[in-house]
Structure 1
């Protein structure tokens, strides 16, 4: 829990200009900033007794970057000194970083293997606290057209209906799809429910003429491909 520091922290305006996060970024670029500096820029202001830099450092000490990304807006807004506006800004920045990390060079990402699909989604999903079920929509040349989220579940389960998934595929005129979801536990081993759902969705896709090429489960830095395992 973030507590009041008994020693008064220097406010941003009391720091040398070269040490102020915003000025430091303007002079040296974003690469020169620490995680606390970057977070302080997103927070913008501290409290009457705690500088924004100290507030950022305390948040990182308590949650870490990964932990912050797993909080909801409501949870983060309850931290002293944060509030709804700052919580929304911080989580939006983290989400943008996740999405950028999943993009390769160029505008069109091609999936040639299960590893490509896993790499594309790893940064976005590996630290999620709940199961997210996403479908990669592919063109006839296996370019990723879109990657919509179909379902967000509890800590260990998400509910996916074939109708919702294939509606997205039809809307984007996808030739084929790859199913993706994460296991918040970090262990990507498929459950019997995962296997049953995969076969159900593959059968539905066959009826519609939209191939389900693979189902990739994302864990903490590792993945399991149903295609590689011979399950699909």
Structure 2
């Protein structure tokens, strides 16, 4: 029992440090190229270096930081080649997720998707596009569509493996004039296709939506 409690406590510390670092990377506190110092993080979080090291390993596994000789661990600096390749992967994955969401979502789930977008519309009107853009995972449209696909492999890739990286790359475009409001309109059209059970249109619109985010 003691060993089990120790492992659970260690996992909890890793989760806490990982969540903190992930949040700081996604909100820009840790900017692209910023160096992560194990001793400083351990001191700030009041933990040993072991959970910090494991949290950084998770970030590296998800492609958010790199570890290079004599440079240490740094937040990635996405270039256009990386961004284009990532968007191509994202378009394929999320297009398939939209198709399968149209095929597999229940009536109540379709209704909840419409309710979510009504809430997004109200948030846009009330608080403006920047706050809408910074919605968390529980209110993220793409995250929800992946979940509605009911494809465990897609859910793992989109919502866990790639979601933070998508967010990091996407964040760079958040201040473009009009783009966020256009994004909401595109989300609504994709949702309508899912609600109508039209997988062909849902996949096409999702792919176009991802492409538009890259070229605008």
TM-score category by the smaller chain? under 0.3
If asked which structure has higher relative contact order (CA below 8 Å, sep 6+), I would say 2
What's the TM-score once normalised by structure 2's chain length?
A: 0.24
What's the TM-score once normalised by structure 1's chain length?
A: 0.23
Larger radius of gyration: 1
